[in-house]
Every structure is written in structure tokens, then in C-alpha cells.
Structure 1
Amino acid sequence: MRNTAGKNKNAADELAATDNIEVVEMDVADDELVSNGFNYIINKYGSIDVLINNAAVTGFGVAEGYSIDAYKKMFEINFYGAIRTYQAALPVMRKLKQGLIINLSTGASGFSVPYMVPYMASKFALETFIEGIDSELREFGIENVSIPCGVYSTGMADKGGHNADRSEITAEYPDFEPRLAALGTSMFGKMQEFDMNPQAIADGIQSLIDMEKGFRPLRYPIDAIAQGTDQEFITAKRKIKRKWAAKYGIDF
């Protein structure tokens, strides 16, 4: 957790008082804090059995309306944050030849939507990393899973700070405001219709942890709103990839 001695002290203290929970100061956007946090846990417990990459930020706006710096800030947490934790956890996982890494992605991780392009791009990058490194880690007995999840009421979108920051560019898009409002209304309406409780994600993570080693899927969608179309997309993509790989003579 970030700022355990500052604004998050009360939450950190409450968690630390709970059985089987140890709170460690860490910020996935900070190389040193990630390294220190993981080293502390590894030195104390000797291993990391499961790593869950859940930290993320989102934002809204036209793609052109984001400065390069704003794009970088999005990727710093959503993409590079996960890379940092992988690099911190993999040495001990490889040594012990076991480990499970679960990554929270997005339900649209195979395609993009307007007015959320930087966020989607960061998740595309994460999905590409997960898919590629999965083959590389197989010989070490390390399993690697992406959870493409749908729209849940977690409060992530309420924090702000990662929206388009070039207002003069955004002003050149006359239909932006009503279209963004329509997108928000649609997502919020679907959240209510399908009762998108974040507990479903926690239950899904527990299910993955409880699965027999060697039988965990690369992608494990949890999105009631998609009504199975997410799994349909994943299955079709996997089939096409296998055909492509066969043409190139590549063994994944």
C-alpha cells in the first residue's frame, strides 16, 4: 500500500490488525519501493506463491487530447507497474520452479473503444506482455493469467487525474461531450442491470488459486455484461494465432 504513514495510515493499521495480513509500503510506479517491498517479503517468508497485479488508473478524453506526458503516466502504472512486479517476483519463482501471477486486465483487452484510448493502449501492452512471457515461463513451472474483467463499481474512474490534459485540442471535437456522456450512461446502466459487484473478481481470483497447477487458462474473463462474447473472442483469437504460428513454424 502507498502512503502507509500518511493518508492511508488508518486503512493500513486496520488491515495490519487482521489475521494473516501484512501491510508493506509500496508504489508500483516507484522502482525502489517495489524492489524494497518484494525483498522484504522474500527475505521474511522465503517465497512468493501468488502475485496479483491489480493496481491501475483510467481516464477519459479524445486520444489527440492527451499529451505525451499523460500517456506516459498512464503506462507508468498500468503497464510498467506490472513489469516491475514481475521482475521483482520472478527470480524467486524461477528458483523454486513455482508461482502464479494473476493480472487484472480489461474486458475490451482485444479491441479498443473511443475516449479511453490511452487506457486501452496500456492494457493492450499488458496483454501482449502476458501472452508472450507465458511461453517463456512455462519451463519454470510459473503460471501466468490475465483476467479481462468488465465494468465494475470500484471507484477507479472517480479519482480523475488521468484524463485528457490538452483542453484546447478537446475543444476542437464538438461531439465529444455528448458522446462521452452517452458512453458513461451506457456503462453505468449495464453495471446496474447486471449487478457488477467487485466481489466477483475476488471470487474469480480465489478460483484460479484453487485450480490444479497446469490447468489454469491464460485468460480467465469475468464479465457478466459480455454474456459470453468475451470468451468467444478469446477462443477465436487463440485458434487464429495457432494457424498463424503453424504457417511460420513457430511452437508456442
Structure 2
Amino acid sequence: MSKTIFITGTSTGFGKLTAITLANAGHSVIAGMRNTTGKNAAAAEELSAITNIEVVDIDITDDTSVTTAFEKVLGKYGKIDVLINNAAVSGFGLTEGYSLDQIRQMFEVNIYGVLRTYQAVLPSMRREKNGLVINITTGASGHTLPFMVPYMASKFVVESITEGIQDELSDYGIENVSIQPGVYPTEMTNGSKAGINADKTEIIAEYGDAATEKFNVLGGALFGKMAQFEMNPQTIADGILQLVEMKKGERPLRFPLDAIAQGTDKEFIQARADIKNKWLAAYSN
């Protein structure tokens, strides 16, 4: 059955691939991106030419832009069956080397952008007593890495939102799933899409070469594994299609798609669920 699906961040990477994959599967896709008449005009034109895709201009850091985009889509389609929060920015560098303004900019996209789209779509989903929200996070959803602390922190917040709101929305038939993609060769990781990086040069200089060497070793390891495991971004698009077409009530809370983790992400997610169940049992007695 065809669904109406709103995806954010479709100008590149996972978002673009997902829009195309879902449209080819027969779903009605609203491909959200900003600057559709500016720097993303070519991407907007490319996606608009594909059957079942409508491009909508949306800046998830702007309240009015989000409200306007969702009102437009709901006015035309009547409902949104699936929201996919894909838009995000990455960032690298020493935690002390980040100015608070840089971290605020990252959180504005990665956290507040997700909250804005939730607030824009939930009233209609609650009226329908039906809906699915898929949030793209990172890694195994529970551990962090040096030189990526603000980015990882922002994604852990999205994990918390996904888990907590699942219970809040259970009476309304709205399901929530987070996808942990690991490292894939997209514009976010190959350097072609600008990230929000540490910007306090004087602090970075004080840490010296040792920190730089540690960062390079970590980056080399991650990119080496990405090549070793032949990580293909289409895996994420196919996984999202699988979730969209999965029977309601059978979707997992977390859906890891990281071959590099070699199963450790699934073990961690299960262990986390087991511990939470023990905690809930203790508090319910």
C-alpha cells in the first residue's frame, strides 16, 4: 500500500537515495531540502523529475519554514504516514576546541530540527491514530568517541527522544524507530559536505601534535573499515524501505545497519533493553 512520506535532508547522501528508493517502490515522497532555488537547485530539479517525488523547500532550523512546509504538504495530501528525520550535520575536533556557538549550531540542526518536525507532524498523525517516525542517529546508540563528542551527543539526544516518545505516542498508533548507520561513504564523511567543526584555533594549538595524531589514527581506522566492509549507502535506503513496509506492531525501536560493528551493536541494543526492563520491573513493584 502506497504511503505518503516526508524526508528531510534529501539533497545528498542517505536522504537522496532514500527518496529515490521509496519513490521507485511506489510511495509518494516529499523530498525536503533547503535552498531549492540556490545551491541545491540541481538536486531539487533531479529529484523533481522522478515519478512520485515532490520537492519541498524546508529549513529545519527555522520554525516558520518547518511550519509552512508541513502545512503545505498536509493541505495537499491530507496526511503524512511516515516522517524520516535524516537531515543532520557532522563535526570533528577537540571538545574544548569547540566554541559554544558552534555546538549550538550543530544542536539546532541535529536536535531542535528533529523536535520541530515532530511538533509539525504529530497533530495530524494523532488525528489519524497512525504514523511512523524514523530517526537517523549513529553508531550503536550508546557509546561515544573522542574528537566527535558534540556530534555524538546530539545523536544520543535523538535516541532519547525516540525511546521516550514511543511510550508517549503508543495510544495513538504512532511508531518510532531509530536507525544506527555506522560509517558510510556519503558527502558527510568524504568532506564534500561542510561539517560544524572545532573552531577555537588557540586551544587546538595548545593540544599540539599528539591530539592530531590520535585523531588521524581514529579517522584512518574508521575509513579503513568502511572500505574493508564495502559499506554501501544504499543499505540505509533499503533498510528504511523495509521499515516502511513492515507490518505495524512489528517494527523494532532500534534498527542497526552497521556491518563494521560485526554484531556488537545488536548485542549492545539488546543489553540496553534488558537492563531497562529490569529497571522498570524494580520500579513497578
TM tier, smaller: over 0.9
1:122 aligns with 2:157: no
Say which SS state the counterpart of residue 169 (structure 2) adopts: helix
What pairs up with 1:9-158 in 2 under 5 angstroms? 9-157=41-189, 158=191
Amino acid of the structure 2 residue aligned with 1:77:
V
1:238 aligns with 2:270: no
Q: Deviations over 1:204-223 (max 9, x none)?
A: 00110111101100000000
Q: Is the 8 A contact 2:89 2:106 kept in 1?
A: yes
Distance in 2 (alpha carbons) for counterparts of 1:10 and 1:124: 33
Aligned equivalent of 1:224:
259
Amino acid of the structure 1 residue aligned with 2:204:
T
Amino acid of the structure 1 residue aligned with 2:196:
H
Say which SS state the counterpart of residue 254 (structure 2) adopts: coil
Distance in 2 (alpha carbons) for counterparts of 1:51 and 1:217: 16
Q: Is the 8 A contact 2:47 2:55 kept in 1?
A: yes
What's the offset of the Cα at 1:135?
0.3
Question: Which residue of the other structure, out of 182, 196, 202, is the alignment partner of 1:168?
Answer: 202
What's the offset of the Cα at 1:160?
3.0
Q: Deviations over 1:57-93 (max 9, x none)?
A: 1111111111111111111111111111111110000
Q: Is the 8 A contact 1:153 1:197 kept in 2?
A: yes
Amino acid of the structure 1 residue aligned with 2:137:
S
Distance in 1 (alpha carbons) for counterparts of 2:151 and 2:82: 25
The structure with more strand, counted as a fraction of residues: 2
Residues paired across the two proteins, number? 250
Q: Is the 8 A contact 2:141 2:156 kept in 1?
A: yes
Say which SS state the counterpart of residue 51 (structure 1) adopts: strand
Q: Deviations over 1:181-219 (max 9, x none)?
A: 111110110010001110000000011011110110000
Say which SS state the counterpart of residue 104 (structure 2) adopts: helix
What's the offset of the Cα at 1:124?
1.0
What's the offset of the Cα at 1:246?
1.5
What's the offset of the Cα at 1:108?
3.9
Q: Is the 8 A contact 1:151 1:196 kept in 2?
A: yes
Q: What stretches of structure 1 of length at least 5 have no aligned partner? A: none
Say which SS state the counterpart of residue 72 (structure 2) adopts: helix
Aligned equivalent of 2:7:
none
Say which SS state the counterpart of residue 172 (structure 1) adopts: helix
Q: What stretches of structure 2 of length at least 5 have no aligned partner? A: 1-32
Q: Is the 8 A contact 1:190 1:225 kept in 2?
A: yes
TM-score by length of 1: 0.97
- Percent identity of paired positions between Structure 1 and Structure 2: 60
Relative to structure 1, is the Cα distance of residues 160 and 11 closer, same or farther in structure 2, using a 3 angstrom cutoff? closer
Q: Is the 8 A contact 2:140 2:269 kept in 1?
A: no
Distance in 2 (alpha carbons) for counterparts of 1:131 and 1:218: 7
Aligned equivalent of 1:209:
244
Q: Deviations over 1:23-79 (max 9, x none)?
A: 111011111111111110000000001110101111111111111111111111111
What is the Cα-based RMSD across aligned positions, in Å? 1.1
1:248 aligns with 2:280: no
TM-score by length of 2: 0.86
Q: Is the 8 A contact 1:108 1:120 kept in 2?
A: no
